[in-house]
Chain A
């Protein structure tokens, strides 16, 4: 099955919600309505054998309306063909359903799209920031975010001392506190038990008598 045939099948199944398809440099890009994207992806995976989601990226088209778009790159191992699906979402409602139920690999890609653009994915198992730290206040890849960045407060320690219980060390052999026991006392050597050495240790500055 070629990408053209897959597009035709998609259009036959979903009708109006599948928009124009553009062909450039041998690749086909199909616009899909945002509400139907999960169904379209599931259809393409089951009926047209697009079993791999190679990439999922967000794009910010500043100045256009709808401002954001999400691109899905599908790949079929059996037919060896690629297809790109494109959805457009507006700035007011930056939410779209997650496709991580169709391909598990969409998980991290969608987290990255959320991290970089602020696009929310409904139903995502773990929609947290992935590249920036949790609690970073901006969305860096938006066009209105400056290249040099905006100074933001770095987070505190990842683990709060009063929220966790330290693993018990049971006073074991590798727990040391400074200054309590001298290393000579803690790890006695055989040489320390020999009488001459004890004398030498007691008086370290005395000159050796020949």
Chain B
């Protein structure tokens, strides 16, 4: 007798129905992003725990560009450390120079003349435009809008040309000195600046037209990477990230330094705290920087650029080679450094990335006892897990671009 079996022929629709009713057992995967990665803006390593494409947890791993700047600072004079400050936020070196010079001048109690302050403002605002151009360009590039990157870099080239005009180097400027500047503005600088300011608004307008109301750009940035106001303050993020989250705080307005109180400008503030808000804040900050540059150029005072305090700065070379006192003064200044009083100061400047602070402990003499660099990127990156959890990996790319950190200052 034939055995009878009962079997079910399942068609593909029924099979799909069965699969949908079973609970999906996902496995969490650890994905390593970086340190060599085009979207991590330098050598940042992010270890991501993924459930499918959704980020469950993430751990930023920094330190790949740690060069021991703070240790180095304890072994050289204040003036010798200036080139190291260029390499902190290497996208806006003039701004770091200004911040460091102001910090050491606060320690020594030196005032610089108004012309020096105005030139420092010009330098800082040019650095701000340069850094924001790169920030917006890199964000657009990572999202896919490659053209914008090239437009913004074309403008950055003009700023680099101006840096070269002012101090001889396009990037690592080392322009400020304790108590003044390395040299006065050369005669062709202001015409170059005027020309740049005539052409820059058109490029900014072009970038704005390409990105701000671009559906794809908005979809990728709106409601992505939201950092609430309370979290932003708790994590002490600064700069456009803080302003994007709705906190109206700018060091140039709250604690003006280097004659910023004489300038008329607005501070853009976001509402939601997502990537799009941070992008808009950076765009508007560039327009405000343009305003400051016009005011600085039009009202640039004449006069000396170095502090009248003779002990701080090197004397004139002709006098050094002919007179005894100046020779001794030059020798002591170069070998031992400026004689800073014992004490400690914390000075911070509104850098394009955030609040760059220098905490200097001096026990007297030309070499600091401790120089701590409060790097905005180090602190801003700490808020990355809060911004990225729950998003997918492609959103992480947008978030990294919108925080706009630079590993040079994060790792020092």
Q: How many residues of B contact A (CB 8 A)?
A: 42
**Which of B234, B348, B357 has the most CB atoms of chain A within a 10 A radius of its CB?**
B234
Residue of A nearest to B70 (CB): A141
Cβ of B382 and Cβ of A108 under 8 Å apart? yes
8 Å CB interface, A130-149 against B: 130-133, 140-141, 143, 145, 147, 149
Contact of A54 among B72, B107, B348, B411 (CB under 8 A): B348
Chain A: number of interface residues, binned into ranges: 35 or more
Contacts A105-B382, A108-B379 given: A27-B234 contact, CB under 8 Å? Answer: no
Cβ of A52 and Cβ of B344 under 8 Å apart? no
Contact of B370 among A24, A25, A59, A80 (CB under 8 A): A59
- Alpha-carbon distance between A105 and B235 when the two chains are bound, in angstroms: 4
Contacts A24-B344, A77-B247 given: A54-B63 contact, CB under 8 Å? Answer: no
Cβ of B357 and Cβ of A51 under 8 Å apart? no
- Alpha-carbon distance between A131 and B71 when the two chains are bound, in angstroms: 13
Cβ of B411 and Cβ of A27 under 8 Å apart? no
- Alpha-carbon distance between A52 and B74 when the two chains are bound, in angstroms: 28
Cβ of A54 and Cβ of B372 under 8 Å apart? no
Contact of A131 among B66, B74, B254, B369 (CB under 8 A): B66
Residues in chain B near residue A108, CB distance under 8 A:
378-379, 382
8 Å CB interface, A1-29 against B: 24-25, 27, 29
B236 at the interface (CB under 8 A from A): yes
Contact of B346 among A55, A112, A133, A167 (CB under 8 A): A55
Cβ of A25 and Cβ of B359 under 8 Å apart? no
Cβ of B236 and Cβ of A57 under 8 Å apart? no
Cβ of A54 and Cβ of B357 under 8 Å apart? yes
Cβ of A107 and Cβ of B346 under 8 Å apart? no
Contacts A54-B355, A57-B359, A105-B382 given: A24-B343 contact, CB under 8 Å? Answer: yes
8 Å CB interface, B232-262 against A: 233-236, 247, 249, 254-255
Encoded as 1 (CB less than 8 Å from any B CB) or 0, chain A from 93 to 119 comes to 000000000011101100010001000
Interface residues of B (CB under 8 A from A): 29-30, 32, 62-63, 66, 68, 70-72, 74-75, 106-107, 109, 231, 233-236, 247, 249, 254-255, 343-346, 348, 355, 357, 359, 361, 369-370, 372, 374, 378-379, 382, 411-412
Residues in chain A near residue B412, CB distance under 8 A:
131
- Alpha-carbon distance between A59 and B360 when the two chains are bound, in angstroms: 11
Cβ of A80 and Cβ of B71 under 8 Å apart? no
- Alpha-carbon distance between A161 and B53 when the two chains are bound, in angstroms: 24
Contact of B255 among A80, A84, A130 (CB under 8 A): A80
**Which of B70, B235, B411 has the most CB atoms of chain A within a 10 A radius of its CB?**
B235
- Alpha-carbon distance between A141 and B371 when the two chains are bound, in angstroms: 11
Cβ of A55 and Cβ of B357 under 8 Å apart? yes
- Alpha-carbon distance between A71 and B374 when the two chains are bound, in angstroms: 12
A120 at the interface (CB under 8 A from B): no
Cβ of B71 and Cβ of A27 under 8 Å apart? no
Cβ of A25 and Cβ of B106 under 8 Å apart? yes
Encoded as 1 (CB less than 8 Å from any B CB) or 0, chain A from 54 to 94 comes to 11010111000000000101010100101010000000000
Encoded as 1 (CB less than 8 Å from any B CB) or 0, chain A from 157 to 173 comes to 01100001001000000
Residues in chain B near residue A129, CB distance under 8 A:
63
Contacts A103-B234, A133-B63 given: A77-B249 contact, CB under 8 Å? Answer: yes
Cβ of B346 and Cβ of A77 under 8 Å apart? no
Cβ of A27 and Cβ of B233 under 8 Å apart? no
Cβ of A130 and Cβ of B63 under 8 Å apart? yes
Residue of A nearest to B379 (CB): A105
Nearest CB in chain B: distance from A204 CB, A: 39
Residues in chain B near residue A158, CB distance under 8 A:
32
Residues in chain B near residue A32, CB distance under 8 A:
none
Q: Which 5 A-B pairs have the closest CB atoms?
A: A131-B63, A57-B372, A105-B236, A24-B343, A55-B374
Cβ of B343 and Cβ of A25 under 8 Å apart? yes
- Alpha-carbon distance between A159 and B45 when the two chains are bound, in angstroms: 14
Cβ of A52 and Cβ of B233 under 8 Å apart? yes
Residue of B nearest to A108 (CB): B382
Nearest CB in chain A: distance from B46 CB, A: 13
Nearest CB in chain B: distance from A76 CB, A: 11
Residues in chain B near residue A133, CB distance under 8 A:
63
Cβ of B72 and Cβ of A147 under 8 Å apart? yes
